[in-house]
A and B are shown apart, each in its own frame.
Chain A
Amino acid sequence: MLNILKLEFLIVLRSGSHIGLAFSFFLFFMLLFALSSLGNSSFLSGLGLTAVWLSLLMSILLTLNKIIHEDFKSGVLEYLLISDIPIEVTLFCKTLVHWVSVVIPLLIVTPLVLITFQISSDNVAKVVFILLLGSPSLSFIGMMISCLTLANRSSLLLTTITIPFYFPTLLLGIFCCASTNNNLIAFEYLLLYANTLFTIVISPYISAYAIKLNYS
């Protein structure tokens, strides 16, 4: 499994122009939110949490077609299917690499961006922590849906169909970020962690099943 992870990381690092793109997209999208509040600072601080969640969601959403569609197009996926390593493990590693390569760079700049949105500095740490624990589910759900849409790889279709599946994570994420409760094992936070764990567990199996359905 470590070997696959290493391999996938190398592939992403060497070919991955989408990392830089996702990073810039995140910053530009945040800038759009900031500009659209027209310098009204009370409006801006109310918008901050929504803006950061939506920008993160959009940058994951728009890079989803890089996870598996290109492997399908080039025929690599068939070799992965017949190799000795279970396809579920490969898919898990692929998703993990996608999450690390897209989200971790964003989380590094998020504190800086949030400060420009007038959010107090002790709140910033909490928001970043919640983003760190909440966003894996976005990548894992995206993996499921991109495996479902292998038959029609239009990126607009993928994006449109994935959005409804993001509702639970987005709702819980913003609710937890806005919550004033600082005890990080309170019920709403536990729900968020549960949501992440649930999607991480089901995603590789459902994705593998979807791929097999596509080849049958």
Chain B
Amino acid sequence: MSNKFWKFSNPVLFKKLSGLISPLAGIIAILAIIPGLVWGVFFTNPDYKQMETVKIIFIHVPAAFLAINIYLMMTITSLIWLVRRHYVSALAAKSAAIIGLTMTIVTIITGSLWGSSTWGTYWVWDPRLTSFAILLCFYVGYILLWQAIGSLEKAANITSLFCIIGSVFALLSRYIVFFIDQGLHQGPTLSLDQEKNIDNSYYFPLILMLIGFSSLFIYLVLVRTTTELNKFKLKGVG
């Protein structure tokens, strides 16, 4: 099993596999995001208190979910690069970073729009908002470091180490921020504990959107990694 998995670290095989998976993921993304949005926005009842603005949740929550998990994915692929030195792994982290940055920015923008109508202000230094600002800093630092260093192998080494240390310090800052202040933001919207979940009429479109955003991410990261691999190959030839 493990041999079968690692054999896709070969760029040629990886490109073949990603050529198979990425259209599939793209189709799933379209099939989930469009119905999810239509269902969420037009066929759910507005909240009794927040009225229609509550529907921002269908963008906000999936984006936040991805923003955090993409950093986790980058940490894992960085670790794989440092241990097994597969170029695919390093380049996947590189191409995921910009998507993660975008998702973080989307989360912050939708969140502040939501905040302006429910809390009466675009931004407060609430723990959850602060930890997203911190996450944004780490994404930006990671991308800056990739741009600053010329040789691919060196850059991959250094950014991988940055990503791994960064994940530790980002988590540390997050827990310290939460220790200092409890804040305005509500608790988790989705959890495995059924009692705490939001109402079913919101739950199902939200899950659809989560699936859609995740497959959009898979599609984008596969396409971008293939592009990076091709670029690397062109540089090697030229």
Using a CB–CB cutoff of 8 Å, the interface residues on chain A facing chain B are 144, 148-149, 151-152, 154, 157, 160-161, 163-165, 167-168, 171-172, 175, 188, 191, 195, 206, 209-210, 213-214, 216
Could you pull out 29 A-B pairs where Cβ atoms are within 8 angstroms? A144-B165, A148-B145, A148-B158, A148-B161, A149-B145, A151-B149, A154-B148, A157-B145, A157-B148, A160-B141, A161-B144, A164-B141, A164-B170, A165-B169, A167-B137, A167-B176, A168-B173, A171-B173, A171-B176, A175-B176, A175-B180, A191-B176, A191-B179, A209-B161, A210-B158, A213-B158, A213-B161, A214-B154, A214-B158
Most buried by B among A157, A161, A209: A161
Complex alpha-carbon distance, A163 and B140, angstroms = 12
Complex alpha-carbon distance, A168 and B180, angstroms = 11
Using a CB–CB cutoff of 8 Å, the interface residues on chain B facing chain A are 134, 137-138, 141, 144-145, 148-149, 151, 154-155, 157-158, 161-162, 165-166, 169-170, 172-173, 176-177, 179-180
With A161-B162, A209-B161, A210-B161 known as contacts, the answer to whether A168 contacts B176 (CB < 8 A) is yes
Complex alpha-carbon distance, A33 and B148, angstroms = 33
Residues of B within 8 A of A157 (CB): 144-145, 148
- Report the 9 A-B pairs with minimum CB-CB distance, sorted nearest first: A164-B137, A213-B157, A167-B173, A152-B148, A168-B172, A161-B141, A151-B149, A168-B173, A171-B176
Complex alpha-carbon distance, A206 and B161, angstroms = 8
Complex alpha-carbon distance, A152 and B137, angstroms = 19
Most buried by A among B172, B177, B179: B172
| Contact status B161-A172, CB under 8 Å | no
Which of A154, A168, A191 is within 8 Å of B169, CB to CB? A168
Nearest chain A CB to B75 CB, angstrom units: 15
Which of B134, B148, B149, B176 is within 8 Å of A164, CB to CB? B134
In the complex, the chain A residue whose C-beta lies closest to that of B172 is A168
Residues of A within 8 A of B177 (CB): 171
| Contact status B161-A164, CB under 8 Å | no
Nearest chain A CB to B19 CB, angstrom units: 32
In the complex, the chain A residue whose C-beta lies closest to that of B145 is A161
With A213-B157, A213-B158 known as contacts, the answer to whether A163 contacts B179 (CB < 8 A) is no
Complex alpha-carbon distance, A189 and B39, angstroms = 50
- Given A151-B148, A157-B145, 9 additional A-B pairs, CB 8 A: A144-B165, A151-B149, A151-B158, A154-B148, A164-B169, A168-B169, A175-B180, A191-B176, A213-B154
Complex alpha-carbon distance, A165 and B170, angstroms = 8
Complex alpha-carbon distance, A161 and B140, angstroms = 9
Residues of A within 8 A of B166 (CB): 164-165
With A151-B149, A175-B180 known as contacts, the answer to whether A167 contacts B169 (CB < 8 A) is yes
Residues of A within 8 A of B149 (CB): 151-152
Residues of B within 8 A of A163 (CB): 137
